[in-house]
Structure 1
Amino acid sequence: MSRLKWKNLEKPLSEPILEVVQNVFKFKIMTPVQSATIPLLLSCKDVAVEAVTGSGKTLAFITPMLELLLKRHRNESWRKNEVGSIVISPTRELATQTGEVLQKFLENKNLSLFTQKLLVGGTSVDDDVKNLENDGAHIIICTPGRLLDLLERNDNLKLAGRVKSLELLIFDEADRLLDLGFEVAINSILSYLPRQRRTGLFSATQTKELSDFFRAGLRNPISVNVKEKANVNTPKLLKNFYMIVEPEQKLNFLMKFIEDREIKKALIFLPTCACVEYWSKIFSNLLDSLKILSIHGKMKKKRGEILKKFREFANVFLLCTDVMARGVDINELDWVIQWDPPSNASAFVHRVGRTARQGSEGNALIMLLPTEAAYVEFLTKNQKVTMEKVEVDESWSGNLSFVNSKIHKLQQSDKNIFDKATTAFVSHVKAYSKHDCSLLLRVKDLDLGKVATSYGLLRLPKMPEMKEKFHKTFIAPENKVDINSLEYKNKQKQQAYRKKQEVYQKTGEWPGKKIITKKHESWTDSKQKREFKKENRKKRQEVKKSINEMKASGVSVIAKKRKNQYTKDDLDELVKDFVAIKKFKKNKISKEELDHEIGFDSETDQ
């Protein structure tokens, strides 16, 4: 696809917008997605854009958005309480990032007439209402839940009335909006917006479900599909690596890999929030030369602050869940590391897309177990990803006991870390069982003893998946640890724990633990119930068969209908009739004897 210079558009952008693009962002030439999309939006077309992550989608909708608002302003000035454009993002991180890019434009004196408001969760709704009432907003950047909340409010704000002049609506990372279950919220939002508007749909992946859902919000959209390579879904300058490693060596080999490659700034994706909580404690002690940060979906107000620190620091690792997999732009990110395969294949593309953005180089590593080796071929075919194998240095394996001993000591020094380790391991196993690619990634293929070793557990937890055979492969601490003797560093938590121990010693029950009482029955009674049900089922089948045969033989069947089911006597009687019919068919009894057996003669005599 041809790449245009920003100043060579058929419908040129206004000078203030070009000035920011060229002087602030230092872009002279458009990326392919910008070359394809901007002219269409400037021509007032609806677009559905699919482009690889990191390809410049944000500027592809911000620049035409500002141009459309300026065009309207030349004819009729925007009032303070009018909303001209809305950008809907799936997460507050992506919304915040879009707001930061837009702010660079609004700092230009010729564009400062426009105002923007960021409406996301984690902040006070009342504060948002007050700010909108006082300052207004020509551009709203938001998450779906918060926007719908404000549209539905019946107060002085009347946001539903302010959006009647809307020029442009943007859905950013639209597939992620569906993944997070925002369908109902988006449908409700669309009902408040005017039909005479332009709409842009931006996503790294386009699916049939996505097209079907957003069809109601777009009017004859033009589809734009931009890929940097025809046969690759990831950025052109991204190098993808994979490592095959035994479960118990995973942490050990990762430490050596980080040291060997001298990695200074990286994202490490982990399967669950509990895993992020635990490994952030461990990495902080194992990698003392680096700053370790953590972020996951259960964090609320802290996420923005943590992301800001990660962008600012040089030697830093950020441990995270898939909350960081979409749209977040981080400068000078060396590596993206994945502890294990993501829950679905498309998430792999989004994760590794956090590096090698906007023409920069980047690297990504995924760690796989021997039982997961087929996942490489699956990604190659399913997501069009090319991968290179990292050959493991066997000398690294000798470091296992040293790494594990450090983790064991950490858990013994603070019971809180021991608790986090157990919770993280259990949550990891549960998450693994929910993989979309369940044919290749199966819990039953995991050696949970070795996986628990990689987590540095002091003992194996009690869980249904933990079979006796895994106790043989689990490497426990050299010196046996009395779990009950572990203490919390936090004095208040330790005091509360002691009180619970005292109650347990007196009553035999742990306080606060929910006890589910279940009525148990003896094995003999259970067996009798099963046999009775089996016998009734067999008799019902015989009754049905006998009735059909009686009808086929020309015998009129008078059956008494019951609302529920046949009684035991009814079933016995019908079985006797069935036996009599069989005898009649074999000429063992006459027609008169058959009538006598089934009781027809007695009815006639009466």
Structure 2
Amino acid sequence: MSSVTRKKWEDLETPLKPSLMEAIKSFDFPTMTPVQTATIPLLLKNKDVAAEAVTGSGKTLAFLIPMIEILLRKKEVWKKNEVGGLVISPTWELSIQITEVLNQLLKNIDGLNCVSFVGAHELNENVQKFKHKGGHIIICTPGRLETMLTKNQYNLPATVKNLELLILDEADRLLDLGFEKSIATILSYLPKQRRTGLFSATQTKEVESLIRAGLRNPVSVSVKEKMSQSTPVSLDNYFIVTRDNGKLATLIAFVESRKVQKSMVFFPTCDTVAYWAKILPNLLRQLKIFSIHGKMKNKRKSVFDQFRKCENGVLLCTDVMARGIDIPEVDWVFQWDPPSKATAFVHRIGRTARQGQKGASLTLLLKSEDAYINFIDKNQKVKVGPLEDPATEEKTEELFKKIQLMNKGDRSLMDLSKLAFVSHIRAYSKHECSLLMRVKDLDMTAMGKTYGLLELPKMPEINKTVAEDYPRIAGLDINTVAYKNKKYEDIRLEKLAKYKETGEWPGLKKVIKQKATISWSKTKDSQQKRKENRAKRKESKEHKIKNNIEIKKRPKKRKAPATQSDIDEILTKVKK
């Protein structure tokens, strides 16, 4: 753990080029952040660096400054399509953001330019841009670069043979998204004699493996602004324990009472983002509502740009926006649910309080989830303080009825509400903290009311009696709810007529044999346990064969499942 103080750019042991110093002044950062102070001198001394620093600590400039300096020091002039620097980041939003920062630095520096290779653009567009304009520094996502290298687009493998510096940004996220093979492929095309920098907000075993594979005798740097926590000191974190059906009412009341201008709200799934993006514009009329999730393709870039430029608005998103995105004006980050992975908690709240600015986060919890606060404190060293719920019970019930009427007015919205609800329950069942976040503890009626459902969907997690007792709009026949889109409604009415005539819904596959319904979460757990047991038996058998130990067939023994008293004992310990 390094204790690093801020230094002026002029105090660097190796002075930077005058043109680069002039470019740095445009950012109005007179001093370096701790991570910049620690890593820039090492990279300039030809060292490989593995850096860990809290989110929002200035990691982008920590690798772009030395990259430009290293390229400027080369005596020969860089050729048009000769690549000297390469930055790989997990998402195209982050790649574009890094490109914007780099372009600002290169604005008044002659002889260097950059290009971005990301999935937001067509492959041929990337190739043609590189062909005509060149690029001494490439900012890219791993999937797109791998494609361009393996398909030998515009002889790209030859252009990287003189690479000076490779940067893996948000390395842990790169691995979380399953880019191990892509990175391995990319590394095979790059020269061995190069400098490599690996930057991450958290260190994991997978990251350590990547360090061993891609870096030569690296210097490890871990910079935290405060030893007792893993978030910036300028970030205040809070939580509110809401009513079981009151998360929406709490969120709206909080935004209105605090006069929040620019914020991000993290939801668990793409469908939940899509649903609330339809609902919230009618409930928060004073703010513009934006939405981004992983299923969006071409729209993501334009939405991201619009949100960055707006003065007041709310961005509804999934964890696709949790890493590296820098929007300085964001003053609040809200979490609808605690994230499925504890490490994502730090990354989400890190979208505010960037570069030393003040910021705050709020996590909405149900009564059954209050133990999560102690868990996140011990697991991630994040201190979270309580706030009073600003929403009233009357407001909560009023919102439920209002959203029900909205769903009644358009069947497509009604369908989306069910999709969002089901995806939320399934995401909840896969939560990393399965002892604290249990589906069986959820009040399904209250959850349905939060989403303004007209009726609870049929799923294994919902008891039949609970579904029948769910509060509906008096006298409403679900079959009469129509699509606003006339084309869709005509098709539905035609199918409905055939269903009334034949008793079978057109296009619906017949179920030959009805099997016992098992919840999705239980099936998944059962499959995982069987897989682990097979691996253990195989390992034991191989050990006995190797050491000539007699293998005796014994009756299978199954471990007794954890009792309710065991679970209650664990929960009691966590809450203390």
TM (normalized to structure 2)? 0.87
1:136 alignment partner, one of 114, 134, 137? 134
2:315 alignment partner, one of 314, 318, 321? 318
> 2: CA distance between counterparts of 1:390 and 1:302?
36
Counterparts in 2 of 1:165 and 1:326: CA distance versus 1, 3 Å: same
Counterparts in 2 of 1:16 and 1:475: CA distance versus 1, 3 Å: farther
> Contact conserved, 1:275 with 1:428, CA < 8 A, in 2?
yes
Amino acid in the other structure paired with 2:342: A
The alignment status of 1:350 with 2:347, answered yes or no, reads yes
Which residue does the alignment assign to 2:431?
435
> 1: CA distance between counterparts of 2:338 and 2:508?
34
The alignment status of 1:151 with 2:146, answered yes or no, reads no
Which residue does the alignment assign to 1:16?
19
The alignment status of 1:221 with 2:224, answered yes or no, reads no
The alignment status of 1:487 with 2:482, answered yes or no, reads yes
> Contact conserved, 1:447 with 1:470, CA < 8 A, in 2?
no
Counterparts in 2 of 1:120 and 1:34: CA distance versus 1, 3 Å: same
- Where 1:170 maps in the other structure, the secondary structure is strand
> Contact conserved, 2:56 with 2:232, CA < 8 A, in 1?
yes
- Where 2:160 maps in the other structure, the secondary structure is helix
Per-residue CA deviation, residues 445-503 of structure 1 (Å, 9 max, x unaligned), is 111111111111110100010013534774433x2321111111122222222222233
* Residue 161 of structure 1, CA deviation: 0.8
- Where 1:158 maps in the other structure, the secondary structure is helix
- Where 1:358 maps in the other structure, the secondary structure is helix
Amino acid in the other structure paired with 2:286: S
Which residue does the alignment assign to 1:417?
413
> Contact conserved, 2:23 with 2:107, CA < 8 A, in 1?
no
- Where 1:242 maps in the other structure, the secondary structure is strand
Amino acid in the other structure paired with 2:499: Y
* Residue 408 of structure 1, CA deviation: 1.0
> 2: CA distance between counterparts of 1:483 and 1:93?
41
* Residue 134 of structure 1, CA deviation: 2.1
| Superposed counterparts of 1:12-411, under 5 Å | 12-22=15-25, 24-72=26-74, 75-108=75-108, 111-154=109-152, 157-393=154-390, 396-411=392-407
Which residue does the alignment assign to 2:501?
506
Per-residue CA deviation, residues 297-342 of structure 1 (Å, 9 max, x unaligned), is 0111111111111111112101000001000001211110000110
> 1: CA distance between counterparts of 2:422 and 2:134?
48
> 2: CA distance between counterparts of 1:175 and 1:516?
44
Per-residue CA deviation, residues 353-379 of structure 1 (Å, 9 max, x unaligned), is 000000100010000111101000000
> 2: CA distance between counterparts of 1:514 and 1:106?
60
Which residue does the alignment assign to 1:467?
463
The alignment status of 1:452 with 2:455, answered yes or no, reads no
1:426 alignment partner, one of 422, 427, 431? 422
Greater displacement, 349-358 / 486-495: 486-495
> 2: CA distance between counterparts of 1:343 and 1:380?
16
Which residue does the alignment assign to 1:530?
none
* Residue 506 of structure 1, CA deviation: 3.0
> 2: CA distance between counterparts of 1:112 and 1:404?
60
Greater displacement, 500-509 / 447-456: 500-509
* Residue 213 of structure 1, CA deviation: 2.6
Counterparts in 2 of 1:311 and 1:519: CA distance versus 1, 3 Å: closer
Structure 1: gaps spanning 5 or more residues: 522-606
> 1: CA distance between counterparts of 2:408 and 2:175?
44
> 2: CA distance between counterparts of 1:51 and 1:252?
36
> 1: CA distance between counterparts of 2:470 and 2:246?
12
* Residue 158 of structure 1, CA deviation: 1.0
| Superposed counterparts of 1:476-555, under 5 Å | 476-477=472-473, 479-518=474-513
Counterparts in 2 of 1:212 and 1:80: CA distance versus 1, 3 Å: same
Counterparts in 2 of 1:520 and 1:93: CA distance versus 1, 3 Å: closer
* Residue 209 of structure 1, CA deviation: 1.9
* Residue 182 of structure 1, CA deviation: 0.3
TM (normalized to structure 1)? 0.83
Amino acid in the other structure paired with 2:449: T
> Contact conserved, 1:166 with 1:193, CA < 8 A, in 2?
yes
Amino acid in the other structure paired with 1:87: V
> Contact conserved, 1:341 with 1:366, CA < 8 A, in 2?
yes
- Where 2:354 maps in the other structure, the secondary structure is coil
- Where 1:247 maps in the other structure, the secondary structure is coil
> 1: CA distance between counterparts of 2:232 and 2:120?
32
Which residue does the alignment assign to 1:7?
10
| Segments ≥4 residues shifted beyond 4 Å | none
> 1: CA distance between counterparts of 2:468 and 2:242?
20
* Residue 14 of structure 1, CA deviation: 0.9
- Where 1:165 maps in the other structure, the secondary structure is coil
- Where 1:248 maps in the other structure, the secondary structure is coil
> 2: CA distance between counterparts of 1:261 and 1:473?
37
> 1: CA distance between counterparts of 2:352 and 2:265?
12
Amino acid in the other structure paired with 1:25: F
Counterparts in 2 of 1:419 and 1:79: CA distance versus 1, 3 Å: same
Counterparts in 2 of 1:487 and 1:199: CA distance versus 1, 3 Å: same
Counterparts in 2 of 1:249 and 1:133: CA distance versus 1, 3 Å: same
> Contact conserved, 1:450 with 1:473, CA < 8 A, in 2?
no
> 2: CA distance between counterparts of 1:259 and 1:411?
24
Amino acid in the other structure paired with 1:388: G
> Contact conserved, 1:450 with 1:475, CA < 8 A, in 2?
no
> Contact conserved, 1:253 with 1:397, CA < 8 A, in 2?
no
> 2: CA distance between counterparts of 1:88 and 1:473?
53
> 1: CA distance between counterparts of 2:515 and 2:181?
44
> 1: CA distance between counterparts of 2:276 and 2:107?
41
> Contact conserved, 2:117 with 2:140, CA < 8 A, in 1?
yes
* Residue 249 of structure 1, CA deviation: 1.5
> Contact conserved, 1:450 with 1:474, CA < 8 A, in 2?
no
Q: How many correspondences in the alignment?
A: 513
Counterparts in 2 of 1:513 and 1:112: CA distance versus 1, 3 Å: farther
> Contact conserved, 1:228 with 1:235, CA < 8 A, in 2?
yes
> 1: CA distance between counterparts of 2:236 and 2:137?
37
* Residue 438 of structure 1, CA deviation: 0.8
> 1: CA distance between counterparts of 2:505 and 2:78?
65
> 2: CA distance between counterparts of 1:485 and 1:473?
21
> 1: CA distance between counterparts of 2:383 and 2:41?
33
> 1: CA distance between counterparts of 2:177 and 2:443?
32
> 1: CA distance between counterparts of 2:215 and 2:152?
28
Amino acid in the other structure paired with 1:241: Y
RMSD: 1.5
> Contact conserved, 2:263 with 2:331, CA < 8 A, in 1?
yes
- Where 1:230 maps in the other structure, the secondary structure is coil
